[in-house]
Amino acid sequence: MSQRQKYLVVAVVVLAVCYEAFVKLISPGMQFNLDVDALVEGSRKLRQEQLKFAPRSDLTKLKPSTNSYTEALFPDGRLVVPGKDQLGKENATILMLCRNRELSGVLSAMRSLEDHFNREYRYPWTFLNDEPFTENFIEETSKMASGKTQYGLIPAEDWNRPSWIDEDLFKQRLQEMSDQQVIYGGSRSYRNMCRFNSGYFYRQELVKQYNWYFRVEPDVEYFCDFQYDPFTLMRENNKKYGFVISLFEYEDTIPTLWPTVEEFMTKYPQHLHPNNALEFITSKDMITLEGMIPETNHSYNMCHFWSNFEIANLDFFRSEAYNQFFEHLDQAGGFYYERWGDAPVHSIAVSLLMDKNEVHHFEDIGYFHNPFMTCPSSKQMKSGKRCVCRADTGNVDLASHSCLPRWWKYGAGKKFLRDSYNVEDFQASL
Ligand SMILES: Nc1nc2c(ncn2[C@@H]2O[C@H](COP(=O)(O)OP(=O)(O)OP(=O)(O)O)[C@@H](O)[C@H]2O)c(=O)[nH]1
Ligand SMILES: [Mg+2]
């Protein structure tokens, strides 16, 4: 064999060895194909094992992950965990009207309120809906709550448009308000919601048992530690309605609300409280240099308490005065032919039927509902109550469209706390 032939043989052998190595080591597909059946079988067995743990009640048997030091999942999968008994002393509930699809916003609002207030008091949460809540909604919200939770289905007759609403006129007004781009002007469900929140929430079976409610909406945020029970604070100080933000309403949602209220005042003068806050909702003077001067078609200046936050006494809404007020408004049809919101309805009722000293401005909670935020301006209060407000949103309190300065002037007044004060001087002044 010549030298050249020897090189050729060696080259062929080397190539053959490399090819085999390539097939075995570099081409996993060929190896994988060989194991497919075994893998499928293994996977099937694993799934069968997992299925043994599938019921949610058995989740506690699983460790969260192989490198976890906890022995069980938390919470433990039961819907009512021990230790959910109410600690707060008042006959009160936290109330949320919402839809299943709003679950993530519901949970974030719950978490915020639980962390800043309710986990120390464990007041029960009451959820209301015009459709049945899903199992998932119930499971997730009951795990988020420190207290008990209950879920109510609103009867159709408390939610839907009443039969005496003229269908043609309703459709026509819906179209007109939608064309005029009135906020939620074309929405049917929003009108049901506003009417329900004006006249029916306090009549629901689950709500009947309570004296107080704290209204919460999906996606809201609370920024400060409460450090007290707001229901107790209100009861002990003879307050019946609590708010955090007050603003001007869009006039094109309530063109005939005020004339309807004027009819009510003429018909039922006995219901007007002698120490009412009529001036708060009718004054049109300039309050602050930046403040808007309300220019409206009627005496109502559009000021209202923003009702997505409310802490209030249910007996006020159950009173004859409030119910005659609501019935009078309802019969006028403005919840459907216009788009009367529950905020101006509650606010006008509170301002006319209640002693203005029974209304409380919670200035120390810090709150956000898109797009407005209120945050304590006192440095002392902010740090003392561990407030962390949003850095990307301004404080609405003194904004041009805020009615708070008007409340200070014509409502229950305002005591300004100095940031640093001498405790003895302060106590002596009380
Ligand atoms: N069950 C139910 N709840 C509703 C419906 N519409 C609104 N809500 C609830 O009623 C409350 C007020 O509705 P929102 O849509 O928040 O109205 P809003 O606060 O004026 O406006 P945005 O928050 O800016 O959308 C919230 O708690 C909603 O979850 C509805 O059709 N069904
Ligand atoms: Mg809202």
Q: Tens of pLDDT along the chain (430 residues)?
A: 667 777 766 666 666 665 665 555 444 444 445 577 787 788 778 767 765 655 555 555 555 566 666 555 555 544 445 578 999 999 999 999 999 999 999 999 999 999 999 999 999 999 999 999 999 999 999 999 999 999 999 999 999 999 999 999 999 999 999 999 999 999 999 999 999 999 999 999 999 999 999 999 999 999 999 999 999 999 999 999 999 999 999 999 999 999 999 999 999 999 999 999 999 999 999 988 788 888 899 999 999 999 999 999 999 999 999 999 999 999 999 999 999 999 999 999 999 999 999 999 999 999 999 999 999 998 889 999 999 999 999 999 999 999 999 999 999 888 765 544 567 776 776 7
Please tell me the distance from the alpha carbon of residue 147 to that of residue 140, in angstroms, as a whole number. Answer: 13
- For residue 217, the ligand 1 atom closest to its alpha carbon is 27
CA gap 387, 245 in Å, rounded: 17
Q: pLDDT for 246-290, tens place per residue?
A: 999 999 999 999 999 999 999 999 999 999 999 999 999 998 878
Strands 92-97, 303-305: pairing is: unpaired
**Does the CB atom of residue 252 touch ligand 1 within 6 A?**
no
Q: Decide: 130 in ligand 1 pocket, CB within 6 A.
A: yes
308 lines ligand 1 (CB under 6 A): yes
Q: Is the CB of 97 under 6 A from ligand 1?
A: yes
Two structure tokens written together for 278: 């009529």
If one counts every other C-beta atom within 10 angstroms of the C-beta of residue 286, the result is: 9
Distance from the alpha carbon of residue 104 to the mean position of ligand 2, in angstroms: 14
Atom of ligand 1 nearest to the CA of 343: 20
The alpha-carbon radius of gyration of the chain (Å, integer) is 31
- Please give the helix or strand (H or E) that residue 222 lies within, else none: strand 221-222
Structure-token pair, residue 306: 């923003």
Q: What is the pTM of this model?
A: 0.83
Taking the alpha carbons of 28, 29, 30, 33 in that order, is the dihedral positive or negative? positive
Atom of ligand 1 nearest to the CA of 216: 27
Strand order in the sheet with 221-222: 221-222, 367-369, 372-374
| List of residues 6+ apart from 176 with CB closer than 8 A | none
**Length of the chain as a residue count:** 430
359 closest CA partner among 402, 399, 397, 304: 304
**CA–CA distance, 228 with 241 (Å, rounded to integer):** 17
Ligand 2 centroid, distance to 220 Cα (angstroms)? 8
Long-range contact set of residues 278-287: C-beta below 8 Å, sequence gap at least 24: 278/351, 278/352, 279/410, 280/351, 280/356, 280/403, 280/406, 280/407, 280/410, 280/411, 281/347, 281/348, 281/351, 283/406, 283/409, 283/410, 287/405, 287/406, 287/409
In this structure, are residues 412 and 286 in contact, taking their beta carbons and an 8 Å threshold? no
With both helix axes pointing from N to C terminus, report the angle between 103-116 and 135-144 in degrees, rounded to the nearest 10: 20
Which residues are catalytically annotated?
310
